[in-house]
A and B are shown apart, each in its own frame.
Chain A
Amino acid sequence: EAAVTQSPRNKVTVTGGNVTLSCRQTNSHNYMYWYRQDTGHGLRLIHYSYGAGNLQIGDVPDGYKATRTTQEDFFLLLELASPSQTSLYFCASSDASERLFFGHGTKLSVL
Chain B
Amino acid sequence: GQQVQQSPASLVLQEGENAELQCNFSSTATQLQWFYQSPGGSLVSLLSNPSGTKHTGRLTSTTVTKERRSSLHISSSQTTDSGTYLCAMSGGSNAKLTFGKGTKLSVKS
Contact = CB atoms under 8 A, between A and B. Distances in A.
Contacts of A90: 43
A43 interface: yes
Contacts of A101: 45
Interface in B13-45: 31, 33, 35, 41-45
A58 B45 contact: no
Contacts of B86: 42-43
B96 interface: yes
Q: Is the interface of B mostly helix, strand, loop or mixed?
A: strand
A35 B31 CA distance: 18
A45 B1 CA distance: 13
Given A43-B86, A48-B96, A58-B96, A99 B42 contact: no
B33 A105 contact: no
A3 to B, nearest CB: 13
Contacts of B90: 98
A40 to B, nearest CB: 7
Contacts of A105: 41-43
Interface residues of B, number: 21
Given A100-B45, A102-B43, A102-B44, A42 B95 contact: no
Contact of B101 (A41, A92, A99): A41
Interface string B57-87: 0000000000000000000000000000010
A45 B97 contact: yes
> Interface size class for chain A?
20 to 34
Contact of B95 (A40, A44, A50): A50
B45 A43 contact: no
Contacts of A65: none
A71 interface: no
Interface of B: 1, 31, 33, 35, 41-45, 48, 86, 88, 90, 95-102
7 contacts: A42-B86, A43-B88, A48-B96, A98-B33, A99-B45, A100-B35, A100-B45
Given A42-B100, A98-B33, A104-B42, 10 more contacts: A40-B101, A48-B96, A97-B48, A98-B48, A99-B33, A99-B48, A100-B88, A102-B35, A102-B45, A105-B43
